[in-house]
Every structure is written in C-alpha cells, then in structure tokens.
Amino acid sequence: MVSTTVFTCCYIKRMIIIIINYLRVLSRRF
C-alpha cells in the first residue's frame, strides 16, 4: 500500500507540472 501511495503522489505531481506548463504555453500564445 505504501508503494501505491507513493506512486499516486508522484503521478499527481507530474500531472500538475504538465498542466502548469500547458497553461504557460497558452498564456504565451494569447
């Protein structure tokens, strides 16, 4: 269970970083 929790946390952090980068690109275009 511990490894699953760590994996989920890392996955969420990665998704947040990707979303932030995507928003930055959109803000640059517009």
Q: What are the helix (H) ranges across the chain? A: 2-29
Structure tokens given for 17: 């970083």
Structure tokens given for 13: 């952090």
The whole-angstrom separation of Cα 2 and Cα 5 is 5
- pLDDT of the residue at 29: 82
Mean pLDDT, consecutive 10-residue segments, the chain of 30 residues? 88 98 91
Question: Cα angle vertex 17, ends 20, 30, to 5°?
Answer: 20
- pLDDT of the residue at 1: 66
